[in-house]
Amino acid sequence: MDATRTLHWSDTDVEVHKVVVGPYENNVFVVRCRHTGEAVLLDAANEHELLLDLASRLGVRTILETHGHHDHIQAIPQVRDAGYEVGVTAADAFMLPSYDYLLEDDQMIEFGTQKLHTVTTPGHTPGSICFKLVDKPLLFSGDTLFPGGPGNTSFEHGDFATIIDSIDQRLFTYGIDTIVLPGHGDDTTIGAERPHLQEWVDRGW
């Protein structure tokens, strides 16, 4: 696939590429430093041939999993076979077929001149994690925060009170202009979602 067709957001320093894969229409993002060409891929969800082509074209160095749900990890065996290392939190590692290293809260993941800051946000799964691009208005929220509310907590290991606390205490601390790029569907902003927190609490999902 032509990388120019996947470009979703960019400035002078960074490119964000997006493809939608699999039956659950998962968003897969590649975040690339424009100065060095180094990149990371978020969620090896499905359609491994497409992801491997994208990773090769865009200089992906490692793969970061936002959480361990089945629809977000389908391509992990193939990307690891191709030589890419996969990182996941300890709390979600048991859901993966395999992985290479563990992600922790408040880490800096460097690629080229850019850094992703890790923000653990349990609730959708015990080990859900988001990634904030340092000095840029971009937050990759996995299945923690979507336009219109939190991710589904009705699955095994999900907890609604926990995800609400994660969103309120960890994500809504960012500025209102912060763009939220979720694991499915369209982008939103912190400013668009923050006023509705109590509505989500009241409805219970």
For residues 120 and 170, give the distance between their C-alpha atoms in angstroms, rounded to a whole number.
8
For residues 91 and 110, give the distance between their C-alpha atoms in angstroms, rounded to a whole number.
23
Q: Which fold has domain 3-200?
A: Metallo-beta-lactamase; Chain A (3.60.15)
Q: Which residues of 28-43 are buried (b: 16+ CB within 10 A; e: fewer)?
A: bbbbbbbeeebbbbbb
For residues 139 and 194, give the distance between their C-alpha atoms in angstroms, rounded to a whole number.
14
Q: What is the pTM of this model?
A: 0.97
pLDDT tens string 11-59: 999 999 999 999 999 999 999 999 999 999 999 999 999 999 999 999 9
Q: What is the mean pLDDT of residues 160-180?
A: 98
Work out the pLDDT band at 123, boundaries 50, 70, 90: very high
Which residue in 34, 32, 35, 38 sits closest to 17, CA to CA?
A: 32
